[in-house]
Structure 1
Amino acid sequence: MPPRSAPTARQRRLGAELRKMRERAGLNGGEAAALLDMDRTRISNTESGRFGVSAERVRTFARAYACPDREYVDALATMADERVKGWWEEYRGTLPPGWLDLAELEHHAKALRSMQVTHIPGLLQTEEYARTVFATTVPELSPVELRRRLSHRMRRRDILDREDPPHCTFLVHEAALRMQFGGRRVTQGQLEYLADASERDNVTVRVVPFSAGAFPIWGISTLYASAAVSALDTVQLDTGYGSVLLDADVHLRNHRAILDRVQELSTQPKEARDLILQIARSI
């Protein structure tokens, strides 16, 4: 089978974890290839995500590298066993790869925690609100591009309605609630939708009020996706230049600490809902 020309973020992550496992064992690529009776090039292509790997092969690597963490190995084997392409693949080649990576990340997450400063979280946006947000894109989107982006964003919301949805905690700054994207009617509809969504069993919405003052995130939308084991967690940052995924231990620790701090500054869920509805009525 020829190597993948464009592995997904999840496929690259699996390969990167196999590389980390090898490096923790103190082995270089040549030593690992000899230990596993494999070609060194295959080791390299597997670690880059360009070659697929079976769950059985993941366990073979783990035994060869003497990895003692059974839960971690089981989680990697589960990743390797995934064969079904997600709905987001329908958009490959028509939307930026980061959009597909985000949908895939959300789909596989056990829990999600995000911080938004200027926008309502994407998973909780109404179509009218999202349309207005996309209308601010520079350069301006064509009608076809706009429809694709709207379709993708609305389909992302489906994870909230699954039989086994991830629990989602949304930390939203008060500024995002008061920004009137689309004018009074669209903003009121969005805030009412947000308040209703906050009553879902799998959704927690908390607001960081203006009175909280300074906080350790400066305008960057941040998503923390929890995996089956914490070593496989991922941070996604939504920057002006596209989506960035981080998975180094130091990044995971730092962003957990940042979100913990922001959550400490936020209101309780009931207070958040009351504030959302109060702002909706006052617009």
Structure 2
Amino acid sequence: MRPKNLTATVRQRRLGAELRRLRQQAELTTAQAGVLDGSSQPRISSIESGRYAVGADRVRALARSYSCTDEAYIDALTEMTGGRTRGWWEEYRGMLPPDTIDLAELEHHAVSMRASSVIHIPGLLQTRAHAHAVIGDVVPPFAPHEVEHRVSYRIKRQVVLYGENPTPLSVVIHEAALRMGFGGPEVTRAQLKHLLDVGELDHVTIKVVPFGAGTFPSSGASIHYMAGAVPALDTIQLDTDHGAAFLDAQPQLVKYRTVLDRMEACSLEPAKSRDLIRRVATDL
């Protein structure tokens, strides 16, 4: 018997939510699904809440019971089965909030990523000094050891951009984020140089929205969009003052894909964006 997960990760809860959507589309109750699955209503509920580590064979059986014929989607769901991925981020469990840790697991499994930010440099592109300046100035303040844990975690997340199979990343940054000056001139210069260096990687695209672009959608929020194996399994992470918010409803995915497309349309092309970053660094 597979054990119940005491604390389901965002990825595990997402698998359960997708199975719930399939069941509801088939117009079946959890009791009826339990009969078809040869289990029980409580077991189906546990699977759908992410508390039960369901296997690939059961996911395929449930998909058949729910009359799902999208093989690519089913294959993607089976890749999400089992317990939580035991990656490097597990060393931070108990030190940082669960949703913060779950972000690294989602990034690890993403096939591509998009991000936008107006005030801050996206976490995947921050230098250690920049991250320290930002994290060290939150309200209420973190204890020194908490700051160090969060900074080291943020830097380790960047492993997805390097190695043999790096994850493609496309970022839109507003000129305001380049000029905020977090940590002072020296930290900012190093941060801007880092943007220029990372922007030279073939799989990383950095575009800047200049002040002259005027209004644009979602100007008050940072967006982190992680693409799944199929579009239906994409995930959005929004930064809020009370922590990370994860969105995965299809209307939300469509909305934020459109928002990011429109923000990219307002931004400069990568070469002109690099020129602007250099000018900002020179102005410091």
User: Which of the five TM-score ranges fits, normalised by the shorter chain?
Assistant: over 0.9
Instruction: Report the Cα offset of residue 139 of structure 1.
Output: 1.6
Structure 1 window deviating more from structure 2 (134-143 vs 80-89): it is 80-89
User: When the two structures are superposed, what TM-score results if normalisation uses the length of structure 1?
Assistant: 0.97
Amino acid of the structure 2 residue aligned with 1:124:
L
Instruction: Report the Cα offset of residue 24 of structure 1.
Output: 1.0
Alignment match, 1:154: 155
Amino acid of the structure 2 residue aligned with 1:107:
H
Structure 1 window deviating more from structure 2 (75-84 vs 49-58): it is 75-84
- Counterparts of 1:134-145 in structure 2, within 5 Å, are 134-145=135-146
Q: Is the 2:5–2:83 Cα contact (8 Å) retained in structure 1? A: no
Q: Please give the secondary structure, in 2, of the residue aligned with 1:79.
A: coil
> Do the aligned partners of residues 257 and 83 (structure 1) sit closer, same or farther apart at CA in structure 2, a change above 3 Å counting?
closer
Matches of 2:202 and 2:156 in 1, distance apart?
20
Alignment match, 2:186: 185
Identity %: 49
Instruction: Report the Cα offset of residue 2 of structure 1.
Output: 4.3
Instruction: Report the Cα offset of residue 32 of structure 1.
Output: 0.7
- Counterparts of 1:68-79 in structure 2, within 5 Å, are 68-79=69-80
Instruction: Report the Cα offset of residue 152 of structure 1.
Output: 0.1
Matches of 2:37 and 2:176 in 1, distance apart?
55
Q: Deviations over 1:28-68 (max 9, x none)?
A: 11111111111110000001000011111111111111101
Alignment match, 1:196: 197
Matches of 1:267 and 1:177 in 2, distance apart?
14
Q: Does 1:123 align with 2:124?
A: yes
Matches of 2:73 and 2:85 in 1, distance apart?
22
Q: Is the 2:198–2:204 Cα contact (8 Å) retained in structure 1? A: yes
Alignment match, 1:171: 172
Q: Please give the secondary structure, in 2, of the residue aligned with 1:80.
A: coil
Matches of 1:12 and 1:98 in 2, distance apart?
12
- Counterparts of 1:39-78 in structure 2, within 5 Å, are 39-78=40-79
Alignment match, 2:23: 22
Q: Please give the secondary structure, in 1, of the residue aligned with 2:145.
A: helix
List gaps (5 residues or longer) in structure 2: none
> Do the aligned partners of residues 83 and 174 (structure 1) sit closer, same or farther apart at CA in structure 2, a change above 3 Å counting?
closer
Alignment match, 2:105: 104
Write out the 4+ residue segments of structure 1 that deviate beyond 2 Å after TM superposition: 81-84
Instruction: Report the Cα offset of residue 149 of structure 1.
Output: 0.6
Instruction: Report the Cα offset of residue 3 of structure 1.
Output: 2.0
Matches of 1:52 and 1:162 in 2, distance apart?
30
Matches of 2:236 and 2:207 in 1, distance apart?
20
Q: Please give the secondary structure, in 2, of the residue aligned with 1:30.
A: helix
Q: Does 1:268 align with 2:269?
A: yes
Matches of 1:90 and 1:188 in 2, distance apart?
32
Matches of 2:236 and 2:108 in 1, distance apart?
14
Q: Is the 2:53–2:83 Cα contact (8 Å) retained in structure 1? A: no
Matches of 2:58 and 2:47 in 1, distance apart?
11
> Do the aligned partners of residues 177 and 204 (structure 1) sit closer, same or farther apart at CA in structure 2, a change above 3 Å counting?
same
Instruction: Report the Cα offset of residue 165 of structure 1.
Output: 1.4
Q: Please give the secondary structure, in 1, of the residue aligned with 2:223.
A: strand
User: When the two structures are superposed, what TM-score results if normalisation uses the length of structure 2?
Assistant: 0.97
Q: Please give the secondary structure, in 1, of the residue aligned with 2:171.
A: strand
Amino acid of the structure 2 residue aligned with 1:26:
E
Structure 1 window deviating more from structure 2 (124-133 vs 90-99): it is 90-99
Alignment match, 1:35: 36
Q: Please give the secondary structure, in 2, of the residue aligned with 1:243.
A: strand
Q: Does 1:113 align with 2:114?
A: yes
Matches of 2:219 and 2:144 in 1, distance apart?
32
Q: Is the 2:173–2:208 Cα contact (8 Å) retained in structure 1? A: yes
Amino acid of the structure 2 residue aligned with 1:60:
A
Structure 1 window deviating more from structure 2 (161-170 vs 240-249): it is 161-170
Instruction: Report the Cα offset of residue 82 of structure 1.
Output: 6.5
Q: Deviations over 1:164-208 (max 9, x none)?
A: 111100100000000001111110010011111100011000001
Q: Is the 2:172–2:207 Cα contact (8 Å) retained in structure 1? A: yes
Number of paired residues? 283
